[in-house]
Amino acid sequence: MCEPPILYFLQAYLARIEEVNINGPGLRAVIETNPVALTKAAELDAERKSKGPRSALHGIPVLVKTSLGMNTTAGSFALQHSVVPDDAEVVKRLRAAGAIVLGKSNLSEWAHYRGNIASGWSAVGGQTTSAYFPGGDPSGSSSGSGVATSIGLAAVTLGTETDGSIISPSSHNNIVGIKPTVGLTSRVGVVPLSSYQDTVGPMTRCVSDAAVVLNIIAGKDLNDKDTLSQTDIVPDFTKALNERALEGKRIGVPRRGFFRGDSKDQGRPDIISAFEQALQTIRSLGATIVDPADLPSVDEIQASGNETAVLDTDFKARMLISLQSYLSRLTANPSGVRNMADLIKFNNDNAVLEKPEGFEDQSILIRSEATVGHDATFFAALAANRDLGATRGINAALQEHNLDALVLPTDGLTSTPPGMQ
């Protein structure tokens, strides 16, 4: 059977972006498209005919968050027209697998770590909105990736997460998102927020696609020490796509603290209803549901400000170390921004661009600038995070109830305990 040309699909995706991104509903999910995407499609068409496909991603169009790789702005005019020397490592792996980088998706500026600003807004990209409801909240910070996937502007998108930035927009946009364990995927070439929590993962329309992408982007990278503890051979995640995989498994539901007022009746009825239906599906597939299976530390997690303290301090430290290193390697950096203080000043000096009405706040940047770096207080907060999130949190619940996994709706506190550990 003759396969349709990759070029044909690329043209269709680009036409759809033209139709709905700035025009029509104005979703603003895509910041830019790749000017050589069609040329690359033609090359990959020829290669497939002569040699066969490189992988399951051969010729597949991918949008990557604009905190990853080339033409990377993190949504800020401070990095507009900067040029990096190379792609992010995960983008290199996608290209090597034959995927086509179709363009860059919008995001919450600086991974939603600038100030109290609506999710999905960046100075460069404008306000991303939901494809399901006019003006709807896309969540973030991987907002554009979530919306683009939901409406089919690319077959695959990549997002990054520090705390909720993949799984929350995936939930809001009715797609599949995987937040990999820190160290499973490389962060090299990614604009950093926290070296202790940042991770890169796939956002797709179905679980099988996400597994295929994770197969490609996971693995060791000598330039990211956190990836070196994993095995040399990346497991085939598609082998877990087995409807009998839940037979005999014990799945816990940590309701306390995750369902408002500790009662399933006091959360959002639509989410709770869908969640209860999902539990029935899991039971029907042979799993035992242990309900409740609460995290012993959940009250302390809710009361603790440790995660914020860690992120504020680590963001500045990363700005001073990783981001300054990142900026120093740029082959062009027209704004001259080199650190947190420079960034705050740039925003103030370019208020028309960076601080339009309703989007003025940069309180998180200012708060982070006031921290003193990786001192004893920081490491105490980091240790407390891991104790609350892992030792007396997720791990304690798993051990106490002899569980294989925990399951929760995505909204609210759900992303915090895994982020803290």
Give CA–CA dist 293/394, Å, rounded: 10
> For the chain, first and last CA: distance in Å?
50
Give CA–CA dist 72/369, Å, rounded: 22
Give the active site residue among 82, 119, 130, 141. 141
Q: Is 141 a catalytic residue?
A: yes
Sheet with 156-161, strands from edge to edge, namely 30-33, 100-105, 61-65, 156-161, 199-204, 176-177
Give the active site residue among 67, 108, 130, 165. 165
Give the active site residue among 65, 179, 264, 316. 65
Give CA–CA dist 109/362, Å, rounded: 10
| Interacting residues of 133 by C-beta distance below 8 A, sequence separation 6+ | none
Pair 310, 194: CB distance under 8 Å? yes
Pair 401, 250: CB distance under 8 Å? yes
Give CA–CA dist 193/188, Å, rounded: 12
**H helix intervals, 25-142:** 37-51, 89-96, 109-112
Pair 118, 141: CB distance under 8 Å? no
Other CB atoms closer than 10 Å to residue 195's CB: what's the count?
Answer: 17
What amino acid positions are annotated as catalytic residues?
A: 65, 141, 165
